[in-house]
Structure formats: C-alpha cells, structure tokens
Structure 1
Amino acid sequence: MFKNRMMTLLILCSLIIGACKPNSEVRSSLSAVLSELTGTVDAKQAEESSFAPVTKDYVLNENGQIQTADDGRVRLDLSSGTIVRVSPSSIFTLTSNDEVEGGLATKIKLEIGKVFIILNGGSADVETPSGVASVRGSYMKVEVDPETGNVYVTCLEGNCSATNPAGTVNFGAGERTILFQQDPATGNWTLPIVEPMTPEEFQEWLDENPEAQELFNQAMSTMTALAEPTEPSATEPAATATEVPATEESNACFQIIQPANGSSLPGMGRIAFEWETQPGAQKYIVTFTDQNGYRGIIETTETSMEKFIEILPNGGDYSWAVTSYGEDGNEICTTESASFSKPASEPTPKPTKVKEDKPDEPKDPEATAPPCDPYMYYCP
C-alpha cells in the first residue's frame, strides 16, 4: 500500500511540474511547391551554398531562397494555402510560419524585385530593406526598386500596413503606400503616406495574377460589354409593367438614393451606388451608359454596391438606372435615370531614373493617341 501511495504521489508531482513549464511557441513547418515557371528560376535550400536551376513541383523548404532572372517568373503554393507570385529580377526568402491567434503568420523576405501575395487566411509579413509590409486576409503586392531602394506596396483587398522606423500606416483595398529608403545624408526615415492605387497598378494586378482577375470580376459582378445601342427588335417582349394590376401601390417604382443626380465624381477611388428596395425584387440590373451611348451592366441581389470608379476610365457624362426583377425572372420596373460626371482616370507612373535630354522628335498623332484602356468594359 505504501508503495502504491508513493507511486501516486510521484505521478501527481510530475503532472504539476509539467503544468508549470512555460508554453513553447507553436511552429508550423513552412514549405512551398513551385509551379508556372517561365524563364530562368533558380533556388537554394537553407543548407545549400549556391543557387541552381529548378523545375515544376520543386519543393522549397523553410529559409530556402528563390532567385529569378530578367525573364523569370514562378508561382509558389505555400503549405499554409497562401500563393506567392515572384516576378522577374527578384530574390525571395521563405522565412517562417507561426501559429498565432486568428490563423497562421507567414514571414518572408524580399531583398530585391517584386512579389504578389494572395493569402488564404492568416497574415503575412514581408521584410524589405526599407521596412516591413504586412497583409491580413487578402491581396498585397510588394516591390523593391533596385535603383532607389524604395518599396512600393499596393493593397488590392484586405487590411494592409507598412512599417519603418518613422512609424506605421494602415491602409485597405484600392490603396497604396511607399516605404522610402533611409536618407543617407541625414539618417532620417520618412513616414509612409497612403494614397489611392493608380489605374496602372490595378492593371498590373490583372496582368500578373489570374487570381486577381477572379477578384476583379467578382468586384465588378457580372459587368458585360455591349455593342452600341440599337433599336428594340420587333420580337422584343412588351414591358411586363403593363401586366401588373393598375393600383397605386403596385405601380410605385423604387428610386436611386446615391450618388445624387448631377453629381461630380472623382477620377479614382471607391464610389457607393445605392437605391431603394423594390418589393418583390429578387435581383437588380444596374446599367451605366456613357455619353457615346455605350453601356455596361452589373447584376446584384443587393440594394447597394461599392465599385472602383476606375472601371469607367473615360472622362465625361454618364447616366445610370436600376431595373428590378422578380422571382419569375420578369422585369418589375426601372428607376428614373440619374446622371453623374467624372474626370478621366489617368495613370500616375512611379518615379523613374532621370534620362538624358534628347532633341524633340516629330510625333505621329496616331502613335501618341491613347490606347483603349483595358479597364474599359467597352471600347468605342
């Protein structure tokens, strides 16, 4: 009996001692599978001393590095579910993956070049020579300029932040900031400033990320390109409004709330479009018409939406109206049209190296004419 009591006492002591030990940090092994390789892509694991060419399905382990040549691109599917796309002329390190409250915190390092991060939950920190860029829950681009050392960060969706010794700024969908390199003369740092993304930066996301195209399509709902307006055909069905019983209540149609008729909108940024609820409506079709008669359509089940006004890049006058449809798919009624105007959404290029002055050359008017903007859902 004495022996049994001693054994029980020892077990209790061991349990108590174990419970008093501090919790060790929970780590999740980080790795990435390579795919969609183009051009020259080299890699090296943490224990290796030099880079070597790699191919599809190569697995990069924690603290491994990727190096792309001027023509090199690669997609990395991280074990956490996050996607990282590495652009040409980049050096990228897969640093760590820690379990934190709310998901996984992925840390990577970008010495030079550009990466696009498409998160699948959790958060990601990108260490650069000029500061740290962070994103929680969605899409962020980080680019280190090889000449200036400045870091350009765009946040397509989600909650982003940028930090350097001068401070931290938080920014969100459709916004950008610059982490300026430390001033070599004074040793001072510049606090990042948040501003809207340019149309050029939106297009960069679309050009280099199929995932962003899906997001952009979702943001634009079911916007489609239509031809120039034509007269209704002889076979077009008559308006269903005539089939509704002629009572004051049933013939009442909902109205547009905002933007107010005649509004002047900015050339960039999110704009809220809102209308009243139509009784019996299951969906709404929003139609935008420009001053040349071209139209674009968005379908939604909500009575409001926020869209980047860059989807309408041309300056000028626009009209818009909302049509409601019932559960049977038939049209109920259409609001009165409202109008707004906006300036052209001109891209603002990032600073570039100053080039030597050259004599002016004759310009071909056709060559200098602006191309059809890829953000247009129609092109005249």
Structure 2
Amino acid sequence: MKSTRRNILLLTVSLLLLTSACQPTPTASPLTGTLSELSGRVEFKSAAETTFQSVEAGDMIQVNDQVQTGDDGRVRVDLSSGTIIRVAPSSLFTLASNETAEDGLATKLKLELGRIFIILSGGSVDVETPSGVASVRGSYMMVEIDPVTQDVIVTCLEGNCSAGGINFADGQKITFHYDSATGKYGPPILEEMTEEDFQLWLENNPEARQIYNQILAGKSAPTATPTSSASPTPTSQTTIITDTEPNCFSLQAPPDGALINASGLVTFTWEPQEGAASYEVVFTSPGGAQNTLVTTSTSLANFIDIFPLGGTYSWEVTALRADGTPICTAKAFAFSKPVSPALEPPAPSGKTVCTQDDAQWSNPSAPCYCNIESSNNPRYCKLPVEPTPTKTPAPTPTKTPLPSPTPSEYPQ
C-alpha cells in the first residue's frame, strides 16, 4: 500500500513538472491600436501598402502602420497596452514596436511630423524624433515637431519624462532648436511650461483637466514658514534643502566655487548617505542645460571636456533609495572653468583674418572668433579682425584753358 501511494505521488509530481514545463514563456502581446473620435481628414497606411487610405471609427492599426492627419484632422488611438495617443492636425506617426521590459511594456513610436499627446497607462513609451528619443514613464507627455522651424518640443504635464539625456517632470518642457544652416539640433533647453503649453493640453485632452487643476493647486497652496528659521518659502520651481532635513549628506570636492582646468579628468566626491542605494548627479551649464548621471558610488570621475563652454557650472547630488525615490539632496556646489581647448582649434589653412561672413563676434572692438563649423557645434579660432579698407580720394581733375585764336584765325 505504501509503495502504491509513493508511486502515485511520484506520478503526480512528474505530471505537474511536465505541465509547468510546457507552459509558454510570457511575451509582449502584438501591439494594436483602435481609432476613435475622428474629425477632419484622417488616413492610415499599413506596412505592406504604399499609399494612405481613409479610416473610420473602430478601425485598427498594427505594428509598423502609420497614421496621418490633415490640417483639420484629429484622432484618438487606444493602444492594446492601455495607453492613449491623441494625434493633432498635420501629424504623421508610426506605431513602431511593443516589447517586454522590467517595469512592464515598452512601447515605441516614431513621430515624423506634427504633434502627439501620450497618456500612459503603465510601462513606458519612447518617441523617436529627428533630435533623438523622448521617453515617458509616468502619465502625460506631448511631443511636437514644429512645421515651420523644425524645432522639437517635449512637454511633461505629469510623470517622469526624459529627452536629450535630461530628466524632467511635472510642468516642465525641453526644446531642441534646429539650425537650418547645418541641419543639426542644438543642445536641450529645459524650461517651465507656459500658459500656452497648458492650454494645448486642455484643448486636446479632456483627461488633462484634473492634472492641470492639481498643478495649479500645488502652485497656489500656501506653505507655512517655520518660526525657527527665515528659510524662503519653497515654490514649484525651486527645490530648497534646509537644515531641518535630518542628517543629509554634503558634497566634498571640488569645493564650492572652485576654478578647475579647461580639460582633463576631474573627480567629484560626496559623503555617503544612510539608506542610499544610488546617487543622481545633475550638472547645470551656464546656459541652463542639464546633464544627469546616476552612480552607486560616492564619487564620479569624468573628463571635464564634456562641458566645453567656459563659465560657471553648478552640480548637485540626490541620494536615492533602492526603489528610486529620493532621500534628500545635498546643497549644490558651483565651479568655474575656461572654455575647452576643443573650441579653439587651429585656423583653417590659408585663413589669416575673420570676415563678416564667418565671424562670431564676442566684442565688436576685440578680435573675433572665427566660427568654422556651426552655431550649434561651435569651434572657434581666434583671429584678428579684417581691416576695413580705406578709400583713397580720387584726384580732382584740373581744367586746362583753351588757347585764344589769333586775328588771322577770325573769319573774314
């Protein structure tokens, strides 16, 4: 009897193991999108077709299909992942892919023209643009390619967004300006969203009203001023770390206000923070552009040549828990550096002076900096100013008197 029971038990376990081994590995389901709320001209093109065709509410698109709208066209696309995409007039985008990621599904889109609004429902969405990839891991992001200037604008109404290596969040935007002379995009510019940016969200997304009201409430909510200190009242645009935050770490080197070399390896160090699993380091350039790096160490070594501009930079470090939430941010330090040698290459062969056609003027009365590449990727060579040619006055013509006729020459 015991032998029979043991055999039955072994058979049952074997069947369970065999059944579990036969289960398919979970994969990302094929991404589809359902079209609704159509107005004006809306068309789509499948990957196998060469021409666009009109659509109706309820039609579906699949991976690698394209959707375009006319000057009066709008459409809502509900992805099978739960994400909503609202397409503005004069836009063209491609549904690129849907892949499994650590934090859910990673959806990829390609925007070639116009403006799309993304309302995320879990996972992440990456949007490929001519200037790079814009990502959202949160809720609400808009990506636009300006039809006139070709500038790329990314607004983050709510959530965690990133573009150009910069992380930004609620009520912020990043702009990449396009240089038509070189065909290149400039560095990302981080700004606060304007009232016009918020209005675009409200006009195109009924879902944005609640988020907009929350942002307004956060900006207008009164903040009690501590009686023990005269710390300024925090605003939605400024992060203020006061002494009331317990046991927050401090930055160490380079010391605040340091003057460092124009090039070479520089090590940034700070104290360890209790409970920190990683540290987010943010460098802000003289023009306001930011670069964000993450490390698990309490130091970061980098060639300072990655910051070519001369001027004053600031850097701050935020300690993060294992789940990515911030513990505290150390008081920011500043450092100054000369312009990188990479910006002052030798002059082009045969070039001895700057002319008005190719000069970048730092001071009209000083030697110019000859811009031998582009304004978005400047490489200046210092040359003397081309002398202004002086005009030599033309000689004044002299009049020679005619000889008087003799009497014999008078007519008879």
Determine which structure has greater relative contact order: mean sequence separation of CA pairs < 8 Å that are 6+ residues apart, divided by chain length: 1
Q: Deviations over 1:212-261 (max 9, x none)?
A: 012223445699xxxxxxxxxxxxxxxxxxxxxxxxxxxxxxx9337999
Residue identity opposite 1:179 in structure 2: F
1:108 and 2:105 aligned: no
**Map of 2:225 onto structure 1:** 257
Does the 8 Å contact 2:145/2:153 carry over to 1? yes
Give the structure 2 partner of residue 193 of structure 1.
189
Equivalent residue in structure 1 for 2:213, among 210, 217, 221: 217
CA positional deviation for 1:189: 4.5
Whether contact under 8 Å (1:169, 1:193) holds in the other structure is no
How far residue 134 of structure 1 moved from its aligned partner, in angstroms, is: 0.8
Q: Is the Cα contact below 8 Å between 2:131 and 2:185 reproduced in 1?
A: no
Please tell me whether Structure 1 or Structure 2 has the larger radius of gyration of its CA atoms. 2
Alpha-carbon distance change, 58 to 195 in structure 1, aligned in 2, over 3 angstroms: same
Change (3 A) 1:210 1:55: same
1:136-285 alignment runs, 5 A limit: 136-163=137-164, 168-181=165-178, 184-185=181-182, 189-220=185-216, 256-257=224-225, 269=237
Q: More deviation in 131-140 or 24-33?
A: 24-33
Conserved in 2, the CA contact under 8 Å of 1:130 and 1:180? no
Taking every aligned residue pair, what percent have the same amino acid on both sides? 51
Mapping 1:85-100, distance limit 5 Å: 85-100=86-101
Show the counterpart of 1:134. Answer: 135
TM-score by length of 1: 0.51
For residue 170 of structure 1, report the CA deviation from its aligned partner: 1.3
Partner Cα separation in structure 2 for residue 75 and residue 270 of structure 1: 35
Equivalent residue for 1:350? none
Q: Per the alignment, do residues 84 and 188 of structure 1 end up closer, same or farther by CA in structure 2, a change over 3 Å counting? A: closer
**2:29 partner SS:** coil
Residues in 1 aligned to 2:150 and 2:226: alpha-carbon distance in whole angstroms: 43
CA distance in 2, matches of 1:52, 1:129: 26
Letter in 1 for 2:155: T
Unaligned runs of 5+ in 1: 1-14, 224-254, 273-380
RMSD (CA atoms): 3.7
What per-residue deviation string (whole Å, max 9, x for no partner) do you get for residues 118-142 of structure 1? 0001111101112111111111000
After superposition, the C-alpha distances for 1:157-195 in whole angstroms (9 at most, x for unaligned) are 1111113xxxx111111111112336643x765221211
Distance (whole Å) between structure 1 residues aligned to residue 226 and residue 75 of structure 2: 44
The residue that corresponds to 2:124 in the other structure is 123
Contact 1:138 1:158 in 2 (8 A): yes
Instruction: String of CA shifts for 1:320-357, please: whole Å, max 9, x gaps.
Output: xxxxxxxxxxxxxxxxxxxxxxxxxxxxxxxxxxxxxx
Q: 1:256 and 1:89, CA in 2 relative to 1: closer, same or farther beyond 3 A?
A: same
Within 5 Å, give how 1:49-68 maps onto structure 2: 49-68=50-69
Q: Secondary structure at the match of 2:196?
A: helix
The answer (yes or no) to whether the contact 1:174–1:197 under 8 Å persists in 2 is yes
Q: Tell me, yes or no, if the aligned pair for 1:41 and 1:53 is still in contact at 8 Å.
A: yes
